[in-house]
Amino acid sequence: MKTQQIIALRFCRLPSVNGAPGLVSLTVSGANGNGSGRKIGDLTDVALRGRLAHYDLHPANEVAGIRRALQPDNGEVTVHEGWPGMDSCLKFWNDFTGSRIRPVEWTCEACAAVHRDNVGASVGEIYARACRCGRIQRITTASEIPARP
Protein backbone atom coordinates (compact mmCIF):
# COMPACT_ATOMS: atom_id res chain seq x y z
CA MET A 1 0.00 0.00 0.00
CA LYS A 2 1.38 3.35 -1.00
CA THR A 3 1.88 5.93 1.67
CA GLN A 4 -1.08 8.19 1.61
CA GLN A 5 -0.65 11.86 1.21
CA ILE A 6 -2.58 14.05 3.59
CA ILE A 7 -4.14 16.94 1.74
CA ALA A 8 -5.53 20.06 3.33
CA LEU A 9 -8.73 21.45 1.84
CA ARG A 10 -9.56 24.98 2.87
CA PHE A 11 -13.12 26.18 2.48
CA CYS A 12 -14.14 29.80 2.69
CA ARG A 13 -17.68 31.20 2.51
CA LEU A 14 -17.89 33.99 -0.02
CA PRO A 15 -19.96 37.03 0.98
CA SER A 16 -23.72 36.62 0.73
CA VAL A 17 -25.47 38.06 -2.29
CA ASN A 18 -28.85 39.70 -1.73
CA GLY A 19 -29.42 37.70 1.43
CA ALA A 20 -28.57 34.37 -0.18
CA PRO A 21 -25.41 32.62 1.03
CA GLY A 22 -22.39 32.98 -1.23
CA LEU A 23 -20.59 30.03 -2.77
CA VAL A 24 -17.82 28.22 -0.92
CA SER A 25 -14.34 28.66 -2.35
CA LEU A 26 -11.98 25.70 -2.24
CA THR A 27 -8.21 25.89 -1.93
CA VAL A 28 -6.04 22.78 -1.77
CA SER A 29 -2.54 22.32 -0.39
CA GLY A 30 -0.32 19.54 0.86
CA ALA A 31 -0.55 19.20 4.64
CA ASN A 32 3.16 19.93 5.03
CA GLY A 33 1.85 23.29 3.86
CA ASN A 34 4.61 25.20 2.17
CA GLY A 35 2.60 28.35 2.02
CA SER A 36 0.11 29.08 -0.69
CA GLY A 37 -2.69 26.72 -1.56
CA ARG A 38 -3.99 26.15 -5.01
CA LYS A 39 -7.39 27.68 -5.74
CA ILE A 40 -9.64 25.05 -7.29
CA GLY A 41 -12.96 26.82 -7.65
CA ASP A 42 -16.19 27.75 -5.94
CA LEU A 43 -18.82 25.24 -4.89
CA THR A 44 -22.48 25.50 -4.06
CA ASP A 45 -23.59 23.94 -0.79
CA VAL A 46 -25.16 21.04 -2.68
CA ALA A 47 -21.92 20.37 -4.53
CA LEU A 48 -19.89 20.59 -1.31
CA ARG A 49 -22.22 18.28 0.62
CA GLY A 50 -22.13 15.62 -2.08
CA ARG A 51 -18.35 15.53 -2.11
CA LEU A 52 -17.97 15.49 1.66
CA ALA A 53 -20.44 12.61 1.96
CA HIS A 54 -19.09 10.52 -0.89
CA TYR A 55 -16.53 8.24 0.72
CA ASP A 56 -17.83 8.53 4.29
CA LEU A 57 -14.46 10.09 5.13
CA HIS A 58 -16.02 12.65 7.41
CA PRO A 59 -18.18 11.68 10.36
CA ALA A 60 -21.53 13.44 10.79
CA ASN A 61 -20.28 15.64 13.63
CA GLU A 62 -17.36 16.82 11.49
CA VAL A 63 -19.70 17.65 8.62
CA ALA A 64 -21.95 19.55 11.05
CA GLY A 65 -18.89 21.47 12.29
CA ILE A 66 -17.92 22.36 8.73
CA ARG A 67 -21.42 23.63 8.04
CA ARG A 68 -21.35 25.74 11.22
CA ALA A 69 -17.96 27.22 10.36
CA LEU A 70 -19.22 28.20 6.91
CA GLN A 71 -22.43 29.86 8.09
CA PRO A 72 -21.14 33.44 8.44
CA ASP A 73 -19.79 35.40 5.49
CA ASN A 74 -16.04 34.78 5.14
CA GLY A 75 -16.27 31.82 7.53
CA GLU A 76 -13.35 29.43 7.00
CA VAL A 77 -12.53 25.85 7.85
CA THR A 78 -9.75 23.45 6.89
CA VAL A 79 -10.40 19.74 6.41
CA HIS A 80 -7.83 16.99 5.87
CA GLU A 81 -8.21 14.01 3.57
CA GLY A 82 -5.84 11.14 2.82
CA TRP A 83 -5.21 10.43 -0.88
CA PRO A 84 -2.70 8.34 -2.84
CA GLY A 85 -1.52 11.67 -4.24
CA MET A 86 -2.49 15.23 -5.07
CA ASP A 87 -3.66 14.28 -8.58
CA SER A 88 -6.29 11.84 -7.40
CA CYS A 89 -7.54 14.34 -4.84
CA LEU A 90 -7.85 17.08 -7.47
CA LYS A 91 -9.55 14.74 -9.90
CA PHE A 92 -12.16 13.80 -7.30
CA TRP A 93 -12.90 17.37 -6.24
CA ASN A 94 -12.92 18.72 -9.82
CA ASP A 95 -14.81 15.99 -11.64
CA PHE A 96 -17.39 14.95 -9.07
CA THR A 97 -20.30 13.46 -11.01
CA GLY A 98 -23.30 15.75 -11.19
CA SER A 99 -21.50 18.91 -10.10
CA ARG A 100 -18.24 19.01 -11.97
CA ILE A 101 -16.21 22.20 -11.53
CA ARG A 102 -16.42 24.04 -14.82
CA PRO A 103 -15.44 27.46 -16.10
CA VAL A 104 -18.35 29.90 -16.01
CA GLU A 105 -18.10 33.16 -17.87
CA TRP A 106 -20.54 36.05 -17.63
CA THR A 107 -20.55 39.70 -18.57
CA CYS A 108 -21.96 42.30 -16.22
CA GLU A 109 -24.87 44.07 -17.90
CA ALA A 110 -24.18 47.28 -16.00
CA CYS A 111 -20.42 47.83 -16.38
CA ALA A 112 -19.51 45.19 -19.01
CA ALA A 113 -16.87 43.61 -16.80
CA VAL A 114 -16.18 40.03 -17.85
CA HIS A 115 -16.09 37.48 -15.05
CA ARG A 116 -14.48 34.06 -15.30
CA ASP A 117 -14.89 31.68 -12.42
CA ASN A 118 -14.60 27.95 -11.92
CA VAL A 119 -17.80 26.73 -10.31
CA GLY A 120 -19.10 23.37 -9.16
CA ALA A 121 -22.90 23.31 -9.06
CA SER A 122 -25.61 20.78 -9.77
CA VAL A 123 -27.37 20.93 -13.10
CA GLY A 124 -30.31 23.33 -12.82
CA GLU A 125 -29.00 24.95 -9.68
CA ILE A 126 -29.25 28.74 -9.58
CA TYR A 127 -26.82 30.94 -7.70
CA ALA A 128 -26.09 34.64 -7.60
CA ARG A 129 -22.83 36.44 -8.22
CA ALA A 130 -22.11 40.07 -7.49
CA CYS A 131 -20.05 42.27 -9.77
CA ARG A 132 -17.69 44.80 -8.23
CA CYS A 133 -20.04 47.53 -9.48
CA GLY A 134 -22.83 46.09 -7.33
CA ARG A 135 -24.95 44.47 -10.00
CA ILE A 136 -26.13 40.98 -9.23
CA GLN A 137 -26.23 38.27 -11.84
CA ARG A 138 -28.20 35.08 -11.43
CA ILE A 139 -26.58 32.09 -13.08
CA THR A 140 -28.37 28.85 -13.89
CA THR A 141 -26.16 25.80 -14.17
CA ALA A 142 -26.59 24.25 -17.60
CA SER A 143 -26.40 20.55 -18.25
CA GLU A 144 -22.96 19.19 -18.88
CA ILE A 145 -21.89 19.78 -22.42
CA PRO A 146 -18.58 18.71 -23.90
CA ALA A 147 -15.95 21.42 -23.58
CA ARG A 148 -15.18 23.23 -26.79
CA PRO A 149 -11.62 22.76 -28.03
What is the total count of residues that contact Zn ion (CB under 5 A)?
7
End-to-end CA distance of the chain: 38
d(CA 43, CA 122): 9
Please report how close the Cβ of residue 1 comes to Zn ion at its closest, in angstroms: 51
Binding part of the chain for Zn ion, among 29-37, 50-58, 67-75, 112-120 by CB under 5 A, reads: 112-120
Contact with Zn ion (CB under 5 A) among 6, 20, 31, 113: 113
Q: How far is CA 73 from the centre of its chain?
A: 15
Alpha helices (H) along the chain: 45-54, 60-69, 86-95
d(CA 20, CA 74): 14
d(CA 27, CA 63): 18
Binding part of the chain for Zn ion, among 64-72, 79-87, 101-109, 119-127 by CB under 5 A, reads: 101-109
Please report how close the Cβ of residue 73 comes to Zn ion at its closest, in angstroms: 20
Count Cβ neighbours within 10 Å for each residue of 52-74 and write b for 16 or more, e otherwise: beeeeebeeeebeebeebbeeee
- Residue 131 near Zn ion by CB under 5 A: yes
d(CA 104, CA 102): 6
- Site string (50-89) toward Zn ion, x via CB under 5 A: ----------------------------------------
Contact with Zn ion (CB under 5 A) among 6, 20, 53, 133: 133
* Longest Cα separation, the chain: 55
Please report how close the Cβ of residue 17 comes to Zn ion at its closest, in angstroms: 13
Contact with Zn ion (CB under 5 A) among 110, 123, 126, 142: 110
- Residue 111 near Zn ion by CB under 5 A: yes
Contact residues for Zn ion (CB under 5 A)?
Answer: 108, 110-111, 113, 131, 133, 135
